[in-house]
Amino acid sequence: MLAQQLVNALSLGSVYALFALGFTLIFGVLGVINLAHGAVFMVGAYAALQAVVLAGLPIWAALIVAFLVSGLFGLVIDILVLSPLRKRHAPHLIPMIATIGVAIVLNSAVQGIFGADNLRFPPGVVPDEAIEAGGLHITAVEIGIILLTFAIMVLLLLGLRRTSIGKALRAVAESPKAAALLGIDVEGLLRKTSFLAAALGGAAGVMISLYSNAVYPLMGQPMLHKGIAVIILGGMGDIRGALIGGLFLGFAEVFAVAYIGSTMRDAVAFGLLFLILLVRPTGLFGKASERKA
């Protein structure tokens, strides 16, 4: 029983982490609360669905399609909206409001094209088999989610630490001005970040739509709320924090349902969130450092 809950928590937490990863990347590097992240997450799910249904691609290829399509959306949003706002040094909440507008446009466009109904991947897209071992039930999707999340996380952390882009990125997150003085192409780097963050969001969208077998226009909204919780829990703008916060939220929810009752799922998670806000407003694992206004 406990082992099963651990598996469930791990896969749910991985999805949250995957979503929060892109969200926190934009928050940490661009200093923007990107409320369109839920929308690109949804776009990813639809892109994969179309790739499977229309082009008959296998799911791994559809995942790549989703990754690229979402990333492209992120890039376009950056070029059309975020970049002009950066250039005129708009105060913090301005880009956030712009991303609300973007989210409304994307959500309603998708709804206009595909309808508001709940769509599903055709059966057999992912292997139906599940591993049954010692009373443990793990589906292929769950294994895929967990592996993918950890693989992406490791790649990202290694990338940040080892590659020159990663080093430049950390410099920009620390201080865009100083980075520019060091000859780093800040603007280009921020574009890449927007692409990557959106692409990760799209991948998360595919994973969760496989996990819960549902694709619908507003699927990103509840995730956005979780994303905020994860970022606060894990430490704002911190990449490892996204993983830790995501898993933490996954565990809190699963165990709340298992041991307290299903109505308490959100209550426990957000109760914890509230306590953390009061005691450690920068998050459980976040440093107390603050981005300058």
Partner 1 sequence: MDAFLLWFDEFWAVYSNLILTLGINALLALSIWLTLACGLLALANAAFMGIGAYAGALATMNYDSPFALSLVVAMAAPSLVALAIGVPVLRLGGVYLAMATLGFGEVVRVVILNTESITGGALGLNGIPQQTQWWHVALALAIVVFMLARLHRSKTGRAFEAIKVDETAAGLMGIDLRAHKLLAFVLGAAIAGLAGALNAHLTFFIGPQEYGFDRGVEILTMAILGGIGSLIGPVIGAFFLTLLPELLRGLADFRLIVNGLILVSVVLFLPNGLWDPARIRNWFGARR
By CB under 8 A, name the binding residues for partner 1: 27, 31-33, 35, 81, 84-85, 88, 90, 92-94, 96-98, 100-105, 107-109, 111-112, 221, 224-225, 228-229, 231-232, 236, 263-264, 266-267, 270-271, 273-274, 277-279, 281-282, 290-291, 293
Q: Least CB distance from residue 229 to partner 1, whole Å?
A: 6
Nearer to partner 1, 184 or 273 (CB): 273
Q: How many CB atoms lie within 10 A of CB 45?
A: 29
Q: Least CB distance from residue 53 to partner 1, whole Å?
A: 23
Structure tokens at 274: 């509230």
Nearer to partner 1, 161 or 291 (CB): 291
Q: What's the N-to-C CA distance of the chain in angstroms?
A: 48
Specify burial of residue 180 (Cβ count, 10 A radius: 0-12, 13-18, 19+): middle
Q: Least CB distance from residue 52 to partner 1, whole Å?
A: 26
Amino acid identity of residue 120, one-letter, is R
SS (H, E, C) 80-137: HHHHHHHHCCCCCHHHHHHHHHHHHHHHHHHHHHHCCCCECCCCCCCCCCEEEECCEE
CA-to-CA separations, 114 to 41, 44, 76, 214, in angstroms, rounded: 16, 14, 22, 13
On whether the CB atoms of residues 188 and 75 are closer than 8 A, the answer is no
Q: Least CB distance from residue 129 to partner 1, whole Å?
A: 37
Please state, in angstroms and rounded to a whole number, the distance separating the CA atoms of residues 189 and 207.
Answer: 27
Q: Least CB distance from residue 281 to partner 1, whole Å?
A: 5
Q: Least CB distance from residue 288 to partner 1, whole Å?
A: 10
Nearer to partner 1, 144 or 286 (CB): 286
Nearer to partner 1, 3 or 94 (CB): 94
Q: Least CB distance from residue 264 to partner 1, whole Å?
A: 7
Nearer to partner 1, 144 or 217 (CB): 217
Please state, in angstroms and rounded to a whole number, the distance separating the CA atoms of residues 246 and 147.
Answer: 15
Nearer to partner 1, 210 or 231 (CB): 231
